[in-house]
Structure 1
Amino acid sequence: MLDQLLGRASLKDRIDELEAETERLQARYEAESERRAEAATARQEAEKKVNRLEDRIAQLEGELERTDAVETDVAPRRRERLRGTRLETVIDRLTAFETGPEGALTAVLSDDEGVATLADAHDVDFQALLGDRAALVDAAAPCVLCLDDAGLVAVALEPPAMPDPDPRVGWDDRFALEREWFLPTGRYALALVRTDLFALGTYDDGDRVDYRGFESDVKGSHSKGGFSQARFERIRDDQIDDHLERCREALAERVGSDTDRLYLVGQRGVVETLADESGLEPAGTAAVDATGDPEPALEDAHRSFWTTELRVF
């Protein structure tokens, strides 16, 4: 009664409310503190994990840099394009090299395979023979590879006419290289074919003994005005077909029993089309950049074709 008269009852109620609010806020504070402690712990763990990952990344980047440095350092000791007398001298030296029985390896690699293919098929440990340089052989394919078991000779040659890769690998007391893979030997024909030009030479040990050449009227690039693009292309295609028919006739007339083999060179797509449609089986084909009039273009093409790239590992 006295508390009510003095107004203390309401004050006590207010105090109780405030105390309850204080307890609630205290509980909330303690809960929030726990959450913050857990968050701090989680953050510390995350930071430790990030640090570990950053250290690992730095380690891997260092390994990658070292690997790149090794790959950069591993390069052929020498690369050279050989033709003529210089090529003949190199082939003579390689064929004169002699070892003990099965000490010299000759391997033919096509353009879609590397040393791993030959190693699996013929049980040759190229890694033991070449170490890190084995990757250089893959990059050199297609090629003819010459290695000896003492590591004195390790070269790859990319001849104008790749040999039949059978047998692909051979161990002997010397390297099994045929001169006709690299050098113009015997009696053969070489034809240069472009969309508007044909030149055919018959050669005896590299010396030309017969020649025929001609140019055809084939439209160049289309320009505005005149023919529509589609009509222009049809006319040009017909002209190219006529030109290739003349080429086939010339080959049929000139290539026969008096030549051992035929090589076709020139624009890649034109050469492939002519080879497919002529019924002939060229001993080799190649894309060469020979321009100008038929006869000098043929000489340029012949010189370019009989070139071998040498890589010394």
Structure 2
Amino acid sequence: MVEKDRVINNINYIFKKYSGKEELEAEINKLQSHILELELDVNTANKRYEKSAASEKRAVAAKQGAEEKLKAAEVKLRSLEHELEKCKKDVPGQLSFTRKDMFNKKQAHELLQSLSSIEYPAASLLTVHIAAGGKPENIQDYGKLVEELDSETLAMIGKVSSSTGLVLFYSPDHLVNELIVPPLPLKRSYWTKGNTFDTDSLLESIKENVSMSVLVAHAGESFVGYSFDSEEFDSFQVIKSSVKAKHAKGGFSQRRFERLRDEDIAHHIDKVKLSLKELLEEFEENIDYLFLAGDLQLAKEMTSDVPLDIEQVFSSSDIRIEKHYVQDILNQLLVYRRYRL
């Protein structure tokens, strides 16, 4: 057990050393505390404004000053969070992917068939399944798995962002060292070691035709649709609203403009919520997944009223809405991402 903990700690040290993640996380924690203080200042300023008509000008100035400081801190926080994500993905030196590919079902099937044909005389081929929302360290017998994999491969697994899980195919001679991210969520985390790779679950998922509702969220133009068999849309709607572009200048005019823009976006969210609600009610008996794409923060607001029993899948695909190429939305959602180490 002591040896297992030492190996895991060494791996964590290597990843943090390469990524600079620790310093960024500390800075983000400081900023989040500062933002909390600024939010309290804003609340205090609001209360002063409400209570004292005589000191209205001072209250307004204090309120505006606190809001500007809060906005500046939030911008800095988003910038640091972006840098942290970049550090996770851009580990320097030898820790990089040699290939990144996007495969459709046919291409993914061909790749998996090729992997399944590989056979070693010794039972040394590893297949690691990590379920949606899971982490490598939560896999049963993780200590033994660490002994089978090199530290660089473990670090690279941590670089891949996936809401659906991933599968690692690994040979000790590094002839095969690939990660596959499927479009549909993996249900179970486990690993196997044998003469061949375990490709059965992914091959089965390729054959599976699921029913899916789709939301592609963008400010001003969003898409909702439904497919019974994930082959083509049986129903869809493009929802458009007039949303102002972002203001380039500063000052009071910018704040007023942004407030109007926020109102436009809120109106658009309400329109999309209504369309999505009608779609889900129409096909509620036949929905396996709700796919969300586009602006994911906006999509979360649009789905705040969606029943919890509908499993949501967050897609990282940058999908643009082209009414004459609606089928392409499904094609982009149902891709298999492949990373070769």
1:210 counterpart = 2:232:
no
Does the CA contact (< 8 Å) of 1:191 and 1:199 recur in 2?
yes
Q: 1:260 to 1:279 in 2, by over 3 A?
A: closer
Q: 1:213 to 1:78 in 2, by over 3 A?
A: closer
Match of 1:138 among 136, 158, 179: 158
Matches of 1:155 and 1:111, distance apart in 2: 20
Q: State TM-score, norm by structure 1.
A: 0.60
Aligned to 2:127: 105
State the shift of 1:263 in Å: 0.6
State the shift of 1:139 in Å: 2.8
Matching of residues 193-208 of structure 1 within 5 Å: 193-203=217-227, 204-208=229-233
Matches of 2:200 and 2:146, distance apart in 1: 18
Aligned to 1:128: 148
1:283-304 deviations in Å (ceiling 9; x for gaps) = 30124433354453x4444333
Aligned to 1:308: 336
Aligned to 1:286: 315
- Partner AA of 1:253 in structure 2: E
1:276 counterpart = 2:304:
yes
- Partner AA of 1:212 in structure 2: Q
Matches of 2:339 and 2:243, distance apart in 1: 41
Match of 1:253 among 259, 263, 278: 278
The unaligned stretches of length 5 or more in structure 2 are 1-91
State the shift of 1:270 in Å: 0.8
Matches of 1:91 and 1:135, distance apart in 2: 24
SS in 1 for 2:262: helix
Matching of residues 143-292 of structure 1 within 5 Å: 143-147=166-170, 153-164=176-187, 167-171=188-192, 174-175=198-199, 177-178=201-202, 185-203=209-227, 204-222=229-247, 228-255=253-280, 256-279=284-307, 281-291=310-320
Does the CA contact (< 8 Å) of 2:223 and 2:321 recur in 1?
no
Q: 1:222 to 1:151 in 2, by over 3 A?
A: closer
State the shift of 1:185 in Å: 2.3
Matches of 1:234 and 1:266, distance apart in 2: 23
Q: 1:119 to 1:293 in 2, by over 3 A?
A: closer
SS in 2 for 1:207: coil
* CA RMSD across the alignment: 3.8
Q: State TM-score, norm by structure 2.
A: 0.56
Matches of 1:264 and 1:80, distance apart in 2: 21
1:160-218 deviations in Å (ceiling 9; x for gaps) = 34424xx4223376345345866872221222111111212222232222222221122
Matches of 2:207 and 2:304, distance apart in 1: 26
Matches of 2:249 and 2:179, distance apart in 1: 50
- Partner AA of 2:186 in structure 1: P
Does the CA contact (< 8 Å) of 2:293 and 2:318 recur in 1?
no
Bigger radius of gyration = 1
Q: 1:112 to 1:152 in 2, by over 3 A?
A: same
Does the CA contact (< 8 Å) of 2:179 and 2:340 recur in 1?
yes
- Partner AA of 1:308 in structure 2: Y
1:87 counterpart = 2:116:
no
Does the CA contact (< 8 Å) of 1:214 and 1:294 recur in 2?
no
The unaligned stretches of length 5 or more in structure 1 are 1-70
SS in 1 for 2:339: strand
SS in 2 for 1:231: helix
State the shift of 1:224 in Å: 6.8
- Partner AA of 2:183 in structure 1: P
SS in 1 for 2:129: strand
Does the CA contact (< 8 Å) of 2:222 and 2:321 recur in 1?
no
- Partner AA of 1:303 in structure 2: N
Does the CA contact (< 8 Å) of 1:191 and 1:265 recur in 2?
yes
Does the CA contact (< 8 Å) of 1:106 and 1:145 recur in 2?
yes
Does the CA contact (< 8 Å) of 1:191 and 1:200 recur in 2?
yes
Matches of 1:292 and 1:208, distance apart in 2: 14
Identity within the alignment, %? 17
Does the CA contact (< 8 Å) of 2:139 and 2:189 recur in 1?
no
State the shift of 1:275 in Å: 3.1
